[in-house]
Amino acid sequence: MSVLVFVEASEGKFKKPAFEAVTYGAKIAAMLGVETHALCIDEADEAELRSLGDYGANKLWFVKNELFKNFDPLVFSKVIIQAEAQTNSDVLVLIQSYNGKAIAPVLAAKLRAGLVSGALDLPRIENNSFLVKKNVFSGKASATYEMHSAKKIISLMPNSIIPEKTVNNVELVELKPEIADTDFKIKIKEVVKASGTTTLSDAEIVISGGRGLKGPENWAMLEEMANILGGATACSRPVADIHWRPHTEHVGQTGIAIRPNLYIAIGISGAIQHLAGVNGSKVMVVINKDPEAPFFKAADYGIVGDALEVVPKLNEAFRKFKLGN
């Protein structure tokens, strides 16, 4: 028996969610008294692969095959199942990323394994029960799921646990799946990357604007704040609907759900549907000219004032702070 963690690399590098997932898998393995295996299908060099050992992986299975530049959840599941069989794993950990969301349910169906997607915390393992917590109702509540199947799959919500380094000597093993070009039924024709530096779902700091900003011309100061702090910009739904900002920035119950360390909401009223997608943020700052704006109830810090006056001053203060640090 063991725990198998499926990690993704982006352009040859692992990002924080990969280290979180390995830490998470290693902790479950420790609870069960078993080994931790990690599997990486993406391209990454040896040093990069070894870095996963620092977070507790005993064995790292890697695949060297150009074909996997394509993405097809059926094929990826096949490879994971091969690793699962070789490692005799009962618990599989994935990341709740775009690709993770595509692979995990396909894998779960093939293994007839229970799946908790977007786990927030380590499982509680009591006698024969395996309990995992996740958010439900788009962040309005959380629920503890009991998993009844022999095989269990957990996809971990990024930014939910802190990656922890341990001393460990990871063993690298190449996995050679029997996959042919024709197995990929989904063909990638083109990849379009937005120009922004930090993507919204990965960003640790998010600067978000609402209808209170009056018009798209006032976003320059939000972008400036995002630049100073190394964050990404976001917006409320009406702002995307009236095309002040692209739809990819719309956060909330019907947009992207995010959980940054810091969320700064500027000129956003704090409607229940908006809060649903952002209340997983660790710290929330609200800037609104209306002291009665509902968002203040959910905030950690608040400033009552006109955004057009407050934000430039705040940018100045952030800039000074960054220069001094």
Partner 1 sequence: MKILVCISKTPDTTTKVSFTDNNTKFNSDRVQFIINPYDEWYALVRAIEIKEKSNAHVTIMNVGGADNDVIIRKALAIGGDDAVRIDAEADDAFFVADQIAQFLKTEPYDIVFVGKETIDYNGSQVGGMIAGLLDLSFISLASKLDVDGNTATLERDIPGGKEIVTVQTPFVVSASKGMAEARIPNMRGIMAARTKPVKVLPAFASERLTSIKQYALPKEKAGPKMIPSDNPEELVMLLHNEAKVI
Give the footprint of ligand FAD on this chain (CB under 6 A).
Answer: 210-212, 236-239, 252-255, 267-269, 271, 273-274, 277, 288-290, 293, 306-308
Among 122, 172, 285, 308, binds partner 1 (CB under 8 A): 285
**In angstroms, how far is the first alpha carbon of the chain from the final one?**
48
Binding mask 22-61 for partner 1 (x = CB under 8 A): ----------------------------------------
CA-based nearest residue to 158, from 233, 94, 83, 80 = 94
Q: Which of residues 96-135 bind partner 1 (CB under 8 A)?
A: 97-99, 101-110, 112-118, 131, 134-135
CA gap 70, 247 in Å, rounded: 26
- Work out whether 309 is an interface residue with partner 1 (CB under 8 A): yes
- Residue 295, amino acid: F
Task: Find tokens 């500027």 and name the residue.
Answer: 266
CA gap 91, 113 in Å, rounded: 9
- Work out whether 77 is an interface residue with partner 1 (CB under 8 A): yes
- Work out whether 301 is an interface residue with partner 1 (CB under 8 A): yes
Residue closer to partner 1 (CB basis): 4 or 132: 132
Q: Which of residues 133-172 bind partner 1 (CB under 8 A)?
A: 134-149
CA gap 208, 107 in Å, rounded: 36
For the chain, the maximum distance between any two Cα atoms, rounded to a whole number of angstroms, is 62
* Minimum separation from the CB atom of position 284 to partner 1 (A): 8
By three-state DSSP, how is residue 186 classified?
A: coil
**Binds 211: which of ligand FAD, partner 1, none (CB < 5-8 Å by kind):** ligand FAD
Binding mask 212-251 for partner 1 (x = CB under 8 A): -----------------x-----------------x--x-
Q: For strand 129-136 and strand 124-126, is the pairing parallel, antiparallel, or unpaired?
A: antiparallel
**Binds 172: which of partner 1, ligand FAD, none (CB < 5-8 Å by kind):** none
* Strands of the 89-95 sheet, one edge to the other: 124-126, 129-136, 114-119, 152-156, 89-95, 2-7, 35-40, 59-62, 171-174
- Work out whether 194 is an interface residue with partner 1 (CB under 8 A): yes
Residue closer to partner 1 (CB basis): 46 or 146: 146
* Minimum separation from the CB atom of position 314 to partner 1 (A): 4
Q: For strand 262-266 and strand 205-209, is the pairing parallel, antiparallel, or unpaired?
A: parallel
